[in-house]
Structure 1
Amino acid sequence: MLEVIEIQTKAAQGRTEPYLCRLSDNQLYYIKGPQAGPRGLINEAVCAWLGQKLQLNIPDFCCAYLPPDILKYDAQARRVLGDGDTVVFGSRLIPDLIEITYSNALKLPAQFARDLFLFDYWIKNEDRTMTEHSGNPNLFYRAGSDNYVVLDHNLAFDEDYNFGRNAYLHPGYKVWLSSQRDVLWQDHYSAKLTIALQGFEQYAATLPATWLDDEADYLQQIRRTLLQYNDDEFWEVLI
């Protein structure tokens, strides 16, 4: 397991107050620790794994050990990250990212927008919104490119997820609604989700035991949520 060897700065945004840190592979990562809660950390790791398997552009990620000594003289970081001797979630820094605006959202590549919309529906994630007036898209692009980067899934698998209340706020909603009615769309996405879910149990077994200590049944709850795509009801609301 990698280890945090240097704490640099707190991110300019983010409700869980991630910190930019250098890890023992000498790369920079934004880390989330106790401030995200055990479920938040599990969500981040599971969704990053699933999203990459669906070929969404999610940064490389890892679990890393945060030693107590590195926080000893940093009261601000200690307020957010605790006293250390914990395992954190790390998302590797991709430089020069710019959060999308409403006008950017209208120009998303159609296939990407559809894939992202279905992904967030699958993982019951309401934390990706964009309207003409406001939003929290958790979606970025690199300046001068169409390279969109997907971030932040600590609020996924929301037990109170409400498709009707949330779907129209998603950056990919209009594209999905306008173009998903092809007769093969359900077969296409069912196959993609089946492939993405392969190896879930094996991956889940690699997650830190300290995250699971108080959430013994949470991974099975996640698995049940993900398997809902096998039910007709999962697809009916998407038509």
Structure 2
Amino acid sequence: MIRPLTVVEIQGRSEQGMTRPFHCRCDDGNLYFVKGRAASQRSLICEWLGGNLAKAFGLPIPEFTIAQAAPELLELHPEGRDLGSMPLFASRKVEHVQEFSISHLHQVDDCLQRDVLAFDWWINNGDRTLTAYSGNPNLLWSTEARKLVVIDQNLAFDPDFDPATFSVTHVFAGQIDLLNQDLIEPQRLRELCGRALAVWADACKNVPQEWQFVDEEQTVPTNFDPDAVLALLNRYSHEDFWRMTPWLRA
């Protein structure tokens, strides 16, 4: 198991996002967005495993780790109970970023757009939406480096994933037609998936024991089946999988 960082300062809490992550400084001196008790255990597992896959896949995601906060520190913050003393998911804060918008689309390389699109398709992540009218892409734009930053895999491996909705609402859905027609890209994507899956076993071993149960007594398992998720991920090797046509996902 990896050694968790220690939260040494709770600076506040985000007003955005379903789980409203906490802004914390850890004992390595860095600032992090930290999720804990307010996020479900399944959400934390998905965030951790999805993050490990995304990093190995080659997506530009912030550094992340597991952290822990002492009870006495939590008592000093009015919402500390929502963070909790169990292991926490901590994503390092990236400076000089803003929320991704339609205006940034043309600045993202087409290949990277396809990689993000394909990755979300692979892990059943329908939570990266953006249309001309609304959306929540869970992406940031670095104004300093003029680069994309990919965040939030907490809704990955969704058993209710809807391919039809995905193909319309994904922020990079404009790449679907090209991907469906290309003969080379599917092979490249299969290679990326194979490389990413090489970290799966170690990532699973580092899932904190506390996340695997919904109660403190650890008597009720979290609704997350790693074997079923691995079977889902292994579909990447099927040739038809990369034809992003909804009826081919049945």
Find the partner of 2:233 among 201, 222, 226: 226
> Contact between 1:2 and 1:64, CA under 8 Å: does it hold in 2?
yes
Q: CA deviation at 1:8?
A: 0.5
Equivalent residue letter for 1:10: R
Q: CA deviation at 1:211?
A: 0.8
Secondary structure at the residue paired with 1:228? helix
Query: 1:169-198: CA deviations, max 9, x gaps?
Result: 111111232355221222111111111101
Pick which of 219-228 and 120-129 moved more.
219-228
Work out whether 1:206 is the aligned partner of 2:206: yes
For residue 59 of structure 1, what is the aligned residue in structure 2?
62
Equivalent residue letter for 1:184: I
For residue 110 of structure 1, what is the aligned residue in structure 2?
110
RMSD: 1.8
> Contact between 2:52 and 2:199, CA under 8 Å: does it hold in 1?
no
**Cα distance in structure 2, aligned partners of 1:225 and 1:34:** 27
> Contact between 2:53 and 2:199, CA under 8 Å: does it hold in 1?
no
- Runs of 4+ aligned residues of structure 1 deviating over 3 Å after TM superposition are 236-239
Number of matched pairs:
236
For residue 218 of structure 2, what is the aligned residue in structure 1?
none
TM-score (norm 2): 0.88
Work out whether 1:177 is the aligned partner of 2:177: yes
Q: CA deviation at 1:216?
A: 7.5
Query: 1:73-110: CA deviations, max 9, x gaps?
Result: 322232x22xx321000000001111111122244210
For residue 79 of structure 2, what is the aligned residue in structure 1?
76
Secondary structure at the residue paired with 1:53? helix
Work out whether 1:35 is the aligned partner of 2:32: no
TM-score (norm 1): 0.92
Query: 1:153-179: CA deviations, max 9, x gaps?
Result: 111111000111222211111123235
**Cα distance in structure 2, aligned partners of 1:217 and 1:123:** 14
Summarize the Cα distance change of 1:194–1:131 in structure 2 as closer, same or farther, 3 Å threshold: same
Query: 1:32-72: CA deviations, max 9, x gaps?
Result: 00111111001111111111111111000001112211111
> Contact between 1:67 and 1:85, CA under 8 Å: does it hold in 2?
yes
**Cα distance in structure 2, aligned partners of 1:178 and 1:235:** 11
Work out whether 1:13 is the aligned partner of 2:16: yes
Query: 1:193-229: CA deviations, max 9, x gaps?
Result: 1111013112211111111132385222221221121
> Contact between 2:212 and 2:222, CA under 8 Å: does it hold in 1?
yes
For residue 160 of structure 2, what is the aligned residue in structure 1?
160
Equivalent residue letter for 1:39: R
**Cα distance in structure 2, aligned partners of 1:215 and 1:231:** 30
Unaligned 5+ residue runs, structure 1?
none
Secondary structure at the residue paired with 2:54? helix
Secondary structure at the residue paired with 2:7? strand
Work out whether 1:92 is the aligned partner of 2:70: no
Equivalent residue letter for 2:200: F
Secondary structure at the residue paired with 2:206? coil
**Cα distance in structure 2, aligned partners of 1:209 and 1:116:** 30
**Cα distance in structure 2, aligned partners of 1:199 and 1:144:** 31
Q: CA deviation at 1:232?
A: 4.1
**Cα distance in structure 1, aligned partners of 2:90 and 2:77:** 19
**Cα distance in structure 1, aligned partners of 2:204 and 2:29:** 26
Q: CA deviation at 1:231?
A: 3.0
